[in-house]
């Protein structure tokens, strides 16, 4: 894209951007809307005050590159590459000792601290996290525009799970007063977008011309033939491709008439959905791009790397004629297996996603860090970060602190103490702990604990976390969505594969925008991968892509995409974009096993089961050791890890 296109897109516009306005928090009266979007942390008074203790420190309002933000991960990569200790120097003993040190301040780490305190109220806990905010993936993006607070999740979207919440996870929700179904009933503003539909944007690079189509291919199953053909005619696809899309969406043919339902299901777990479309249904290969990214949101890879039975469970088309019996199959993935269960209504999306759960847990652990005590009042509560790491507090949460080592003092078999070393503000420091919960990512553990058994270290390295990006864009108003009659658009083939308006709801004092004239947040999802490789290799390639992409490149693509999809509704990216937060997660979802590529391990022998064995005074939590990327699994594993330590 040239300079002229950059000007049309508004690349010269003064939204706050990390790479343009180093460290300056500004109000953007410039846009005619009063807004405030700081892009870097707060000034250093040069008196040794830790960043999180400085006046006004409040990371949820930071914009620019967030998620795994610059400064949070580089030393981890140095550790991986064997460079860290070459220049690290000697660590300073702080003299601090704790009953429990938790490494990783995501939902799993904070839950571990909560469970421990519940069983041992008189003890002292330190939680360490490398990011400048707690919550791990459960992060909050907060914008202030025209006197209004706009919220959206920067990662973990909702309380939801393919399996019912366990007694432990549900118990934690109950303790916090969270009743998902009731909150959903009470808070969702279902009227706000009631006339807006889903759409598909066909981009010219993939489909030959740019065109927004209102409705989706899956609507065709519910239309009569004439209406379906009329709808198909709106898609910029060649006649023979349209015919095959119609065939795929409406087909009732049984391709394996000689097989039983169980045999068909087994066969479908051994081929990808793409192979099913091309080799079994024999659709025109030009149909594939329309469906390729439909699995991205759940798996971070396309239909070339997801088995056909999993896609049946997700409701993708082409299976009606097979008459498959309801229910799971052992070779299905963890998430699709859950889709075969009857309806589960234990679902609720807080306006900032599960960041509200993290904030509620922190409020319990450090009671004066935020006002209030209900799931409703946490949504607008202003958390005081300077209270999180006070000497007198029984629970301390230390941010921007990367742990680089955790080893037993003496023989791990008999040792009563672990030395934990971390880097913070360029200083290497150590604390002592009677017990340690590793609630960080599995692949970090072997670098921090070289003393672990080799087999366990290998198992900890097995999973490759799913890279993904949730982008939040604050825009001046949502007239363009209203004019086009859409709320969500699938954009296969574009930089982000999906975009849409944040869910409308009113909870506590928080009010979602109601009128199309009001500012709002647009959510966009990007899942970089490399079709054709195994799932784990696709994730490695996607992670490389994310870590080498500058904010400027993200911004240019975001402006271009929103402009092309919405401009026929009056959207002008140069005028209407107020702020951009790119939540970049190179290490996103926990890796869930994919039997197209992974072996079927005997019971007890899968990598996650080997990985989660306790070692001396160190126990392992986090959702990676469940091989299931969900909040309930993060909580379940925290509980197990705490029990292992308490009872050993």
Ligand X SMILES: Cc1cc2nc3c(=O)[nH]c(=O)nc-3n(C[C@H](O)[C@H](O)[C@H](O)COP(=O)(O)OP(=O)(O)OC[C@H]3O[C@@H](n4cnc5c(N)ncnc54)[C@H](O)[C@@H]3O)c2cc1C
Shorter beta-carbon distance to ligand X: residue 193 or 441 = 441
* Closest distance to ligand X from the beta carbon of 140 (Å): 13
Shorter beta-carbon distance to ligand X: residue 161 or 594 = 161
For residue 528, state whether it binds ligand X (rule: CB under 6 A): no
* Closest distance to ligand X from the beta carbon of 401 (Å): 6
385, 441, 495, 591: residue in contact with ligand X (rule CB under 6 A): 441
272 neighbors 305 (Cβ within 8 angstroms): yes
646 neighbors 119 (Cβ within 8 angstroms): yes
620 neighbors 611 (Cβ within 8 angstroms): yes
Close Cβ partners of 42 (under 8 Å, ≥ 6 residues apart): 25, 51, 54, 55, 56, 57
For residue 499, state whether it binds ligand X (rule: CB under 6 A): no
* Closest distance to ligand X from the beta carbon of 19 (Å): 23
* Tokens, residue 396: 């301390």
For residue 460, state whether it binds ligand X (rule: CB under 6 A): no
For residue 623, state whether it binds ligand X (rule: CB under 6 A): yes
18, 66, 69, 131: residue in contact with ligand X (rule CB under 6 A): 131
354 neighbors 107 (Cβ within 8 angstroms): yes
Backbone angles phi, psi at 538, to 5 degrees: -65, -40
* Closest distance to ligand X from the beta carbon of 518 (Å): 26
* Closest distance to ligand X from the beta carbon of 462 (Å): 16
For residue 464, state whether it binds ligand X (rule: CB under 6 A): no
* Closest distance to ligand X from the beta carbon of 640 (Å): 12
100, 322, 360, 439: residue in contact with ligand X (rule CB under 6 A): 439
Binding to ligand X by CB under 6 A, coded x per residue (else -) over 583-622, reads --x--xx--------------------------------x
For residue 406, state whether it binds ligand X (rule: CB under 6 A): no
**Within 13 Å of residue 431, how many CA atoms lie on the same side as its CB?**
25
Strand pairing category for 395-398 and 402-408: unpaired
39, 129, 302, 594: residue in contact with ligand X (rule CB under 6 A): 129
Work out the number of other CB atoms within 10 angstroms of the CB of residue 224: 9
For residue 436, state whether it binds ligand X (rule: CB under 6 A): no
For residue 634, state whether it binds ligand X (rule: CB under 6 A): yes
Strand pairing category for 64-67 and 577-585: parallel
Shorter beta-carbon distance to ligand X: residue 126 or 520 = 126
Q: How many residues bind ligand X (CB under 6 A)?
A: 39
Shorter beta-carbon distance to ligand X: residue 143 or 591 = 591
Q: How would you label 403-428 residue by residue, b for 16+ Cβ within 10 Å and e otherwise?
A: bbbbbbeeebeebeebbbbbbbeeeb
Close Cβ partners of 62 (under 8 Å, ≥ 6 residues apart): 38, 39, 40, 41, 69, 132, 581
DSSP E strands: which ranges in 50-160?
64-67, 92-103, 125-128, 140-145, 148-153
User: What residue ranges bind ligand X (CB under 6 A)?
Assistant: 76, 103-109, 128-131, 136-138, 155-158, 160-161, 402-403, 439-441, 444, 448, 468, 470, 585, 588-589, 622-623, 629-631, 634
């Amino acid at each position: 894209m040239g300079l002229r296109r950059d000007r049309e897109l508004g690349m010269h516009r003064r939204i706050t951007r990390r790479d343009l306005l180093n460290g300056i928090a500004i109000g953007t009266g410039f846009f005619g809307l009063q807004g405030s979007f700081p892009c870097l942390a707060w000034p250093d008074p040069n008196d040794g005050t830790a960043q999180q203790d400085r006046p006004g420190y409040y990371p949820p309002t930071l914009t620019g590159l967030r998620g795994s933000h610059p400064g949070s991960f580089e030393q981890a990569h140095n550790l991986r590459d064997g460079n860290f200790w070459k220049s690290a120097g000697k660590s300073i003993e702080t003299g601090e000792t704790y009953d429990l040190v938790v490494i990783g301040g995501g939902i799993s780490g904070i839950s571990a601290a909560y469970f421990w305190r519940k069983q041992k109220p008189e003890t002292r806990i330190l939680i360490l996290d490398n990011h400048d905010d707690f919550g791990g993936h459960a992060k909050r993006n907060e914008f202030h525009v025209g006197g209004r607070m706009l919220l959206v999740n920067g990662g973990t979207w909702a309380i939801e799970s393919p399996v019912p919440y366990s007694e432990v996870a549900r118990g934690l929700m109950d303790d916090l007063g969270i009743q998902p179904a009731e909150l959903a009933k009470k808070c969702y503003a279902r009227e706000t977008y009631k006339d807006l539909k889903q759409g598909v944007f066909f981009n010219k690079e993939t489909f030959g011309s740019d065109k927004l189509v209102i409705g989706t291919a899956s609507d065709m199953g519910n239309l009569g033939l004439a209406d379906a053909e009329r709808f198909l005619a709106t898609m910029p696809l060649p006649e023979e491709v349209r015919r095959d899309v119609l065939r795929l969406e409406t087909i009732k043919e049984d391709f394996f008439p000689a097989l039983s339902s169980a045999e068909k299901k087994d066969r479908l777990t051994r081929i990808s959905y793409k192979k099913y479309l091309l080799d079994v249904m024999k659709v025109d290969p030009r149909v594939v791009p329309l469906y390729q990214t439909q699995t991205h949101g759940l798996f971070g890879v396309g239909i070339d790397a997801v088995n056909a039975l999993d896609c049946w469970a997700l409701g993708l088309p082409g299976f009606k004629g097979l008459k498959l019996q309801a229910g799971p199959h052992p070779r299905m993935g963890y998430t699709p297996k859950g889709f075969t269960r009857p309806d589960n209504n234990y679902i609720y999306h807080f306006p900032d996603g599960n960041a509200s759960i993290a904030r509620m847990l922190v409020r319990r652990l450090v009671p004066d860090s935020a006002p209030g005590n209900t799931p409703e009042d946490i949504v607008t509560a202003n958390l005081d970060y300077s209270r999180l790491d006070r000497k007198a507090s029984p629970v301390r949460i230390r941010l921007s602190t990367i742990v680089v080592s955790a080893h037993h003092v003496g023989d791990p078999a008999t040792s009563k103490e672990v030395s934990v070393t971390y880097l913070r503000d360029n200083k290497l420091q150590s604390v002592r702990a009677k017990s340690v919960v590793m609630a960080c990512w599995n692949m970090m553990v072997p670098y921090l604990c070289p003393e672990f058994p080799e087999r366990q270290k290998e198992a900890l390295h097995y999973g490759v976390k799913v890279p993904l990006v949730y982008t939040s864009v604050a825009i001046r108003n949502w007239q363009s969505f209203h004019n086009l009659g859409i709320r969500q658009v699938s954009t296969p083939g574009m930089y982000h594969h999906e975009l849409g308006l944040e869910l409308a709801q009113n909870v506590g004092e928080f009010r979602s925008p109601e009128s199309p004239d009001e500012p709002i947040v647009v959510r966009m999802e990007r899942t970089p991968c490399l079709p054709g490789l195994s799932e784990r290799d696709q994730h490695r390639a996607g992670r490389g892509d994310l870590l080498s992409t500058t904010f400027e490149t993200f911004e240019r693509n975001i402006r271009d995409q929103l402009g092309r999809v919405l401009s026929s509704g009056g959207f002008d990216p140069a005028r209407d974009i107020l702020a951009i937060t790119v939540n970049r997660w190179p290490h996103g979802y926990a890796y869930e096993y994919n039997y197209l590529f992974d072996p079927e391990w005997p019971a007890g022998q899968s990598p996650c089961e080997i990985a989660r064995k306790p070692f001396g005074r160190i126990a392992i939590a986090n959702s990676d050791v469940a091989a299931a990327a969900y909040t309930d699994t993060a909580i379940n594993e925290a509980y197990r890890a705490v029990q292992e330590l308490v009872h050993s």
